[in-house]
């Protein structure tokens, strides 16, 4: 109850930031409950998007992550300008997110198994792949190959970064070529597809895993459903481009709840003898 002072009633407000509205079921849920559940809605099990740093924390054994290439930062090779210069957008996004680009990379342990881990961050330019993301993935592949370690990449991206044009599209070939060399060296690559995994990322490294895992109901595809429907002028199947649809079509090996990812990745590593 509020306290009345003359004609004014002072209401005791609820502190901001204690509750989250779930994008899946639209229910208001206690933030700490969601965080304790790895950013999964405890009511409908909707998997909310997490940052690259959160993903690293969720997957790796405590204190085991050793980052590399943290200081690698994008340039503006084309001098791209729309409403404001690309270089200014980079600086603004870096200040807002606290990271230099849309990828966290490093060595770490997942249930005692040492891996090279790369996690995309949708909060940085929609997880788009520019020159830095492509280079960090390529170096991750090379470090995994040199150390004979499994490679785990968590994909979450809107696709290629349009502000870098051809420089961005080149990363599709660059990362795919690096993974081809890794495959020839008998390396193990586990790809984890989170919501969303689209565009040039899907058309390159995301779908090249020896084992491809996906989180429930993740959007996975090249062009978006609306673009495809407008292009072919046909109604798309129910659930089109969801992880479940792709599992039925044979493009994904298994759908794994976020709470089970650590166990599933470690099980795959053990099965592969890595």
Q: What are the tens digits of pLDDT across the range 73-100?
A: 999 999 999 999 999 999 999 999 999 9
Check whether residue 190 and residue 67 sit in a common domain. Answer: yes
Residues 142-188 pLDDT 10s: 999 999 999 999 999 999 999 999 999 999 999 999 999 999 999 99
Q: What is the mean pLDDT of residues 111-140?
A: 98
pLDDT in tens, 30-51: 999 999 999 999 999 999 999 9
- Residue 269 to residue 8: CA distance in whole angstroms: 65
Cα-only R_g, the chain = 21
Shared domain check, 114 and 18: no
Residue 231 tokens read as 């292009």
Count of the separate structural domains present in the chain: 2
Q: Report the C-alpha gap between 112 and 172 in whole angstroms.
A: 32
Residue 115, token pair as written in the block: 């891996």
Q: Based on the fold, state whether residues 129 and 65 are members of the same structural domain.
A: yes
Check whether residue 21 and residue 55 sit in a common domain. no
> Cis omega before residue 196 (within 30°)?
yes
* Torsion angle of C-alpha atoms 46, 210, 241, 169, degrees rounded to 10: 110
- Tell me, yes or no, whether 135 and 30 share the same domain: no
The predicted-structure confidence for 211-269, as pLDDT tens digits, reads as follows 999 999 999 999 888 889 899 998 899 899 999 999 999 999 999 999 999 999 999 99
Residue 265, Cβ neighbours under 10 Å: how many?
Answer: 24
- CB of 200 closer than 8 Å to CB of 206: no
Q: Do residues 8 and 128 both lie within one domain?
A: no
Say if residue 68 is in the same domain as residue 31: no
Indicate if 28 and 101 belong to the same structural domain.
no
215 lies in the same domain as 258: yes
| Structural domain containing residue 26 | 1-48
CATH of the domain at 206: 3.90.226.10
| pLDDT at 11 > cutoff 70 | no
| Confidence at 9, pLDDT banded by 50, 70, 90 | very low
Q: Does pLDDT of 1 surpass 90?
A: no
Q: Quickly list H helices, the chain.
A: 31-36, 52-59, 86-97, 131-147, 165-184, 199-202, 225-232, 243-249, 261-272
Same domain as 7, residue 122 = no
Region 17-38: what's the mean pLDDT?
A: 94
pTM: 0.91
Residue 237, both tokens: 């199947």
């Amino acid at each position: 109850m509020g306290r009345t002072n003359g004609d004014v009633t002072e209401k005791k407000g609820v502190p901001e930031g204690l509750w989250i509205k779930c994008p899946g079921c639209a229910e208001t849920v206690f933030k700490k409950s969601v965080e304790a559940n790895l950013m999964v809605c405890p009511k409908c099990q909707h998997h909310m998007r997490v940052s690259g740093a959160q993903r690293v924390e969720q997957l790796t054994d405590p204190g085991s992550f050793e980052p590399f290439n943290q200081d690698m930062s994008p340039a503006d090779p084309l001098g791209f300008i729309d409403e404001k210069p690309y270089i200014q957008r980079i600086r603004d996004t870096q200040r807002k997110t606290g990271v230099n680009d849309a990828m966290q990379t490093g060595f770490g342990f997942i249930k005692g198994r040492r891996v090279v881990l790369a996690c995309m961050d949708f909060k940085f330019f929609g997880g788009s792949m520019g020159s830095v993301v492509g280079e960090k993935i390529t170096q991750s592949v090379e470090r995994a190959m040199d150390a004979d370690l499994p490679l785990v990449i968590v994909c979450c991206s809107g696709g290629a970064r349009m502000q870098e044009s051809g420089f961005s599209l080149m990363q599709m070939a660059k990362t795919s070529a690096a993974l081809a060399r890794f495959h020839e060296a008998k390396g193990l690559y586990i790809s984890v597809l989170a919501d969303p995994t689209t565009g040039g990322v899907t058309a390159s490294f995301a779908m090249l895993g020896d084992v491809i895992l996906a989180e429930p109901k993740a959007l996975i595809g090249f062009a978006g459903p609306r673009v495809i429907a407008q292009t072919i002028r046909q109604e798309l199947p129910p659930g089109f481009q969801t992880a479940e649809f792709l599992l039925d079509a044979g493009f994904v090996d298994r759908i794994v709840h976020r709470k089970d990812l650590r166990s599933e990745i470690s099980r795959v590593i053990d099965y592969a003898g890595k």
